[in-house]
Structure 1
Amino acid sequence: MNDLALRQSTEIQGDVLAGFKKDHVQLLFLKFDDATRARTWLRRLKPRIATTRQVATFNAAFSAARSNTGGDDPRAMNAVWRSVSFTHGGILTLTGKDPFPQTSEGSTQHAFKQGSAVRAGMLGDTGDNSPENWLFGDSNAQPVHAVLTIAADKVDDLRAALAQERQEASVHKVVVIFEQDGGTLPGDRRGKEHFGFKDGISEPAVKGFDPPDPERPEWKKGSPGTRIIPGGEFVIGEETVSGTPSDLPEWAKNGSFHVVRRLGQDVPGWWAQVGARLKELKNAKAVPPEATTEWLAARMVGRWRSGTPVAKCPYADVPFDPECANDNDISFANDLEGEITPLFSHLRKTSPRDGLALKEGGEPVPEKGGLDGRRIMRRGIPFGRPFDPAGDAGHGPDAARGLIFVSYQADLVRQFEFIQRDWVVDTKFPDRDPRVGADPMIGPTTDVTFAGKQVRFEQFVRTEGAVYAFTPSLSTLDRLADGKLSDDSPKIKVRVNERNGNHEISAVSTLDIGDRIDAGKARLVLQDDGRLVVFDENEDPRWASKNPATRGARAVFQEDGNLVIYTPDNQPVWATGTAGNPGAMLAVQTDGNVVVYNRAGTPVWATNTRH
C-alpha cells in the first residue's frame, strides 16, 4: 500500500492538498444565466482543472530544482493551474435539485445552504463589514454560483488563461460578476502580508500526502513542529481525527468545502495604532522602557516580521539564530497565561497549539484528538500594491489592498466557523478575568489586557466579500456537467454507429433535465424548462420542442417509437407523433439533423436541422 496515496489522486482538485503556490492568482466569481449552457461550459472546463497528482508532482520537481539553484526559482518551470467550486445555488442551478434538501441546525450542510451572508453576523461581520457592503457574496443582487481560480507562475500566462476563460464564460452565458486579483508582494515583502509579517508558514501537514518524520512521526519530515493531520479533516471521505465517517452523500467524496473572504487592510492605520497603544502602555509602565512598535506588533501577531515566533525569541527578531529558525516548532506549554506570547495574539487565537488552558490553572487541551480537528488548509494571497507613502499611484493609504483569505475544510462549522466565531472574535476565549479580548490583528474593535493594563485596539481589517462554496471531485464535476449528483438516474441507451458516427438511441431510453446527446453538429438537450432543444456546434439553438415550460420534465423514447415529454406527474405535453413504430431508433446525426427512423430505416420524423 502506498503510504502517500493522496499525492497520486486524480480525483481531488489540485489546490486542496497540494496547493497551487503561484505568484499570480485571479478569482472569477461567476453567475449562471442559462443552466444548460452552464453545464456545457463546465463540461468544456473540466479537462483544464488541475488534479492533486499534477500539482503535487510539479511542486516536488519545482522544489528540487530550486534547491539545485541555491534557492532561486527555476525560470524554465512554469505552469497554469485552475480549480472550480460551486455555491449551494450553483449546484441547485446545474442540477435542478437541492443538494441538501434536509439539513439540521449546526451541520455543515446547513451552513453551506444558508451561505456566508446569512451567517455573517455570528462571525463578527457587522457594521462596515456586513454583507450589504460587500463587493461579492451570497446575498448580493448578483448571486455567486461558482468560483473559478486561475494561478500561474508568469503574469503573461495568467493573462492568456484569463482571456480564454472570459471568452468561454461569455459564449455559455456564464456571467463574471466580480474578478479578484492576487499576487505575491514584490522585493523584500515576498512571502509576507501587507502589515509586513511572514504568512502561510503554519499550514498543517496531511496524513497520506506528506511524509512523516522518522523520529517524530506526528510531524512532517523536514518541518519540525508541523503536525500531520488525518486527510479527512480537509477531504470528504478520508480518515478523520475522531474516526467518525462523514455523513455527507457519496457525490461529496474527494471534495472539500471552500471559503473565500476578501479582507481589506488599513496598513498605515494599523501601524499608527500600534504606536499609540505602545505610548499608553509605556506611560502605565506595563511594557519595558526599551519596547518598540515592532516589539508590540510582534506580540499582537505572535511572530516577528520574519516569522520568528515570539515564544522562541521574545526580545528581538533574530531569524538566523538556530534556536529561532523553525517557524512551527513552537510550544506554549510553559506560557499558559500568555506572559511571553499574549493569549490575544493572532497566533494563539487561530491555532493555540499545546498552550490552550480553557480556564486559568486548568490543564491544556491536547492537540491530538482535541485541536487537530479544528485545523484548516489556508491558501491566501495578498491583493493590491504595498503601502508606500513615497510611491506612485496605488501605493497610498486609500488604495485597495489586503488579503484574499482562502481555506479548505471538510466541515464549515466545526473548522472555519469555530475558529472565527469561538476563537478569533470571542473576547472570552480563553476564559480569563479580565477578558482576554478578540484577535487585535484581524478581529473586531476590542479591549485586550496587557500586563494588567487594558488597551483598546480598533479594527483595521475589514471583510469586503465572502463566499461559501464546495470544491467537487473530478468525477462529480462530470456528474454536474450532466445535471446530476449521482449515477442512479435512468441510463440513455446510446450507441455510436461506426459507419457514420451518428448517435443512435434505442427504446426505452429516458432523458432527464440536463441530459444531452452530442454528435458535434447536433446536440440534443433536455433543458431546465422541460423543452428539447437541438444546438449546433457553436451552441446556437436550431430547433426546440413546442411544449409549455415544464420544470422537472423528462423525455422518454418509448417502445412504440414515440418520443414523448412528460410532466413530473406523468402527463404528456409534447410528442413526435411516431407511435406505432416498434423497433424504431432516434438518431442524433453528425450532419446536424435529429431523426426518428422506423425498423426498416425509413425516416418518420425529423427536426430538419441538417446544415
Structure 2
Amino acid sequence: MAGATTTTTTGLPLRESREIQGDVLAGFKKDNVQLLLLKFEDEQRARTWLRRLRPRIATTRQVATFNAAFSEARKHSGGDDPKALNALWRSVSFTYEGLRILAGKDPLPNPPGASTQEAFVQGPAHRAGTLGDTGENSPENWLFGNGKGQVVHAVLTIAADQAKDMRAALSQERQEAATHKIVIVFEQDGTTLEGSRRGKEHFGFKDGISEPAVFGFDEPDPDNPEYEKGKPGTRLIPPGEFVVGLERVGNRPSGMPRWAENGSFQVVRRLAQDVPGWWAQVGARLKELKNAKAVPPEATTEWLAARLVGRWRSGTPVAKCPHADMPSDAEAWSDNDISYRDDPEGEITPLFSHLRKTSPRDGLVLKPGGPFVPEKGELDGRRIMRRGIPYGQPFDPAAADANGPDAPRGLVFVSYQSDLVRQFEFMQKDWINDPDFPRRVPSVGSDPMVGIPTDVDFKGRKLRFEQFVRTEGAVYAFTPSLSTLDMLADGRLEEGGPAGDQVVTAPFTLWAAGSGGSGGSGGGYGSGSAPTDSIDAGKAKLVMRQDGDLVVLDERGQVRWSSNTKGSGGVRATLQEDGDLVIFNKSDAPLWKSRTHGNPGARLVVQTDGNVAIYTSDGNLIWQTGTAH
C-alpha cells in the first residue's frame, strides 16, 4: 500500500480492527478483482500455505485507512481517482470442507436444523431448489461449486487498482498454490466497466449504491443518528449483522462457536447476464402495454426498464424522477435517499421492482390496509453487504467477438453476512423469488430483473418476464478472523460456543419453520418458509417449533418446558415492546402469553443454567420456565 497514513477515528472502533478481514466492512473497492477457487490435496501443506499467506491478508484497519485517504484525495482532485494512491489487497475464506481439513476435525459437529450452520455445511448446491436455481440454473450446469469433479475448499480474493499489480500477485499466488499441492479449481475475474459504463452492471444500471452503513464503523449523522453522515438514506446497521459475535438487531445471539467470532459468511455466485435478451424482452412488454394504452404514449423502453429496476441507468431513483432520467454527478450522494412512504401500492415504483424486492425501506405494507413495517428492527436484520463486480466485456454488436451476444458476461456476486439463512437466503427466496411478497391480489410477481420466470402485475395488467440472469456457480464460505487464521494454520480451532447467557431485547421474534408470515402485521416480511428460530445457551435452547409449540430443550434435546400450543397454528413467538412474550398464529391472533406486559425494556434471557427467564429493565425476575438444572 502506498500513500496512506494511519489515523484513529474517535467513536468508530471497528475502523481499528486488526481481526476482521478487510473486505467485510471496509470493502476493497478495486477496479480489478480475481477469485481463485482452491482445492487442498495435502492437509499439512495446506496449513503451511495458509501460514505463509496470513501476513498478506488485509485487515479492516489497513483497508479503512487507505479508503479514507483515497476519498480525501479524490475530493481535492475534482472527483478523479488519485493516480498516486494504489493498493493491492487479499482476503481468504473457506468452505465447510476446507475448514474441516485445516482444523483436522468437524468445525460444526451438530448444526441445528434449518440454521445458518446447517446451510453452511450443506452448501448452495444442496439448497439450489429452494433458492430458484433450477432448470438452466441448476447445479449440474455450474462451472464450480456443484459437488462434481473438483470440490472447493477455499476462496482467495485478490483486488488491485492496477492491472499490472494484479498480474504480479496472481503469479505469486499460483506459484504458492502449486508449491503446496493446492489445485486451482476455477479462476473468476472481475473488472470495473470502462468509460460511460463505469460503476454500472452489464444491463447498464448504476450498481453498488444501496449498501448499508455500520454502527461503529461509519460516522452517524448528528441530526439523524440512525443514518450515515453525509449519505442521506443510508441506514446504520448493527455490526453483528455482518460480523459474527458483534451486536445484532435486538441483541440476537449468533449461536456460533467462539472460533467464528469476528468472521463473516461469504456468498459467491457467478451470475451470467443475457443483455440483448433482457432488453429485447423489455421492448416487447412495452409494445404490449402501448397496444393496450396502459402507459403514456411517450413511454420508452428506458422508461419501463427503470420501473423494473427502481432506478434509471444513472442511478437516479424512479421515486424521485418518475418521468425521465435526470442524472447529476454532483447529486450522486443522494441516489440512496429514497422513500416509498407515499407509494405503498407501487404506483410510482412498482412493488416488484428490484430495489423494492431487495430493500423495501420505509414503504413495506405486508397486505392492503395494513400498517407500515418499520425499518428499524427486523428489516435492518435482513441486510447484506454486497461486494460484487462485473465480469466479461460489455455487449456491443459493432465490436469484436468478445463483445457479442454469446460472449460470457455477468456479475460476480459476493456478499457478507453473519447469518446465511436469515439474510442472503431469505432475501433470495422470500423476497426476490416470491411472487406474493408483499401480498396483493393479483400477485405482485417475482423480481423481473434477477428473479425466476414470473408474471408481474403492472397497473392491473399481467406482464410475463422470463429469466435472463443465470446462476453458473455458487459457493458458501466463511471468512475467519486473523486469529482464527492463525489457529487453522496450526491445525486447530477454539472450542466452545458463545460464552454466558444469551440475552435478547424487544422487539424480538422466533419464527417456526414453514410459517411464512406475510399475512400479519407482526411481519415475517416474506411469504415463503421461514427458518426454525432458536436461542441456544448450551443447557437451555428456546425453540419455536413448526407444530406451533414454544419449547425449552436441554443439552440432550429433551423437552424441559412447553407452552402447550402444539397444533394451534402458532407461527411466531414475539417479545413485545411492552415486555410480554406472545405466541401468534398467521392471522396475528394471540394464542399464549407470558403475561408480563407493562414492562418496557424487558429482556428475555436463555441462561447457561438451563432456565429461560424474563427480567425487567432494572433486573427483576418477572417470568421463568423453571428449568434450571
TM over 0.5: yes
1:244-323 matches, within 5 Å, as 244-320=252-328
Whether 1:58 and 2:58 are equivalent positions in the alignment is no
Q: Which runs of 5+ in 2 are unaligned?
A: 1-8, 497-629
> Alignment partner of 1:343: what SS?
coil
Partners of 1:486 and 1:103 lie apart in 2 by 17
Of the three residues 337, 362, 378, the one matched with 1:354 is 362
Change (3 A) 1:325 1:412: closer
1:89-488 matches, within 5 Å, as 89-320=97-328, 326-486=334-494
Partners of 1:321 and 1:133 lie apart in 2 by 41
Whether 1:22 and 2:30 are equivalent positions in the alignment is yes
Change (3 A) 1:14 1:321: closer
1:78-97 matches, within 5 Å, as 78-97=86-105
The aligned residue for residue 521 of structure 1 is none
State the Cα distance separating 1:322 from its structure 2 match: 8.5
State the Cα distance separating 1:323 from its structure 2 match: 8.5
State the Cα distance separating 1:320 from its structure 2 match: 2.8
| Contact map agreement 1:312 1:323 (CA 8 A) in 2 | no
Q: Percent identity?
A: 74
Q: Which moved more, 1:294-303 or 1:426-435?
A: 426-435
Partners of 2:484 and 2:441 lie apart in 1 by 50
Amino acid at match of 2:354: H
* TM-score, normalised relative to structure 2: 0.77
Q: Aligned-residue CA RMSD in angstroms?
A: 1.3
The aligned residue for residue 556 of structure 1 is none
| Contact map agreement 1:308 1:325 (CA 8 A) in 2 | no
| Contact map agreement 2:35 2:187 (CA 8 A) in 1 | yes
Partners of 1:233 and 1:244 lie apart in 2 by 9
| Contact map agreement 1:11 1:52 (CA 8 A) in 2 | yes
Partners of 2:475 and 2:332 lie apart in 1 by 37
Change (3 A) 1:146 1:322: closer
> Alignment partner of 1:15: what SS?
coil
Change (3 A) 1:29 1:323: closer
Change (3 A) 1:452 1:413: same
Partners of 1:481 and 1:384 lie apart in 2 by 35
| Contact map agreement 1:309 1:324 (CA 8 A) in 2 | no
> Alignment partner of 2:487: what SS?
helix
- Per-residue CA deviation, residues 71-99 of structure 1 (Å, 9 max, x unaligned), is 11111111110000000000011122111
| Contact map agreement 2:36 2:155 (CA 8 A) in 1 | yes
> Alignment partner of 1:260: what SS?
strand
Partners of 1:108 and 1:450 lie apart in 2 by 36
| Structure 1 stretches of at least 4 aligned residues deviating more than 3 Å after TM superposition | 321-325
The aligned residue for residue 42 of structure 1 is 50
> Alignment partner of 1:456: what SS?
strand
Amino acid at match of 2:418: A
| Contact map agreement 2:140 2:146 (CA 8 A) in 1 | no
Amino acid at match of 2:270: R
The aligned residue for residue 564 of structure 2 is none
State the Cα distance separating 1:286 from its structure 2 match: 1.4
Partners of 1:359 and 1:303 lie apart in 2 by 24
* TM-score, normalised relative to structure 1: 0.79
Change (3 A) 1:482 1:445: same
Partners of 2:451 and 2:481 lie apart in 1 by 33
State the Cα distance separating 1:139 from its structure 2 match: 1.6
Partners of 2:495 and 2:96 lie apart in 1 by 20
Partners of 1:200 and 1:244 lie apart in 2 by 27
Partners of 2:203 and 2:197 lie apart in 1 by 10
Amino acid at match of 1:68: H
State the Cα distance separating 1:106 from its structure 2 match: 1.5
The aligned residue for residue 560 of structure 1 is none
State the Cα distance separating 1:370 from its structure 2 match: 2.4
The aligned residue for residue 9 of structure 1 is 17
Partners of 1:434 and 1:314 lie apart in 2 by 24
- Per-residue CA deviation, residues 281-324 of structure 1 (Å, 9 max, x unaligned), is 11112111110000000000000001000001100001239888
Amino acid at match of 1:283: N
Partners of 2:438 and 2:148 lie apart in 1 by 35
Which structure has the larger Rg?
1
Amino acid at match of 1:17: L
The aligned residue for residue 608 of structure 2 is none
> Alignment partner of 2:84: what SS?
coil
Q: Which runs of 5+ in 1 are unaligned?
A: 489-611
Amino acid at match of 1:236: V
Partners of 1:481 and 1:294 lie apart in 2 by 52
Partners of 1:156 and 1:361 lie apart in 2 by 58
- Per-residue CA deviation, residues 254-278 of structure 1 (Å, 9 max, x unaligned), is 0000000000000001000000000
State the Cα distance separating 1:487 from its structure 2 match: 7.1
The aligned residue for residue 608 of structure 1 is none
State the Cα distance separating 1:393 from its structure 2 match: 2.3
The aligned residue for residue 568 of structure 1 is none
Change (3 A) 1:125 1:21: same
State the Cα distance separating 1:371 from its structure 2 match: 0.3
Amino acid at match of 2:119: A
> Alignment partner of 1:394: what SS?
helix
State the Cα distance separating 1:400 from its structure 2 match: 0.1
State the Cα distance separating 1:2 from its structure 2 match: 4.4
> Alignment partner of 1:18: what SS?
coil
Q: Which moved more, 1:298-307 or 1:103-112?
A: 103-112
State the Cα distance separating 1:238 from its structure 2 match: 0.8
State the Cα distance separating 1:140 from its structure 2 match: 2.5
State the Cα distance separating 1:365 from its structure 2 match: 0.9
The aligned residue for residue 75 of structure 1 is 83
State the Cα distance separating 1:444 from its structure 2 match: 1.0
| Contact map agreement 2:259 2:495 (CA 8 A) in 1 | no
Change (3 A) 1:251 1:323: closer
State the Cα distance separating 1:392 from its structure 2 match: 1.2
Amino acid at match of 2:92: V
Partners of 2:288 and 2:300 lie apart in 1 by 12
Change (3 A) 1:276 1:155: same
Partners of 2:240 and 2:10 lie apart in 1 by 17
The aligned residue for residue 567 of structure 1 is none
- Per-residue CA deviation, residues 425-446 of structure 1 (Å, 9 max, x unaligned), is 0111111111111000000111
State the Cα distance separating 1:480 from its structure 2 match: 0.5
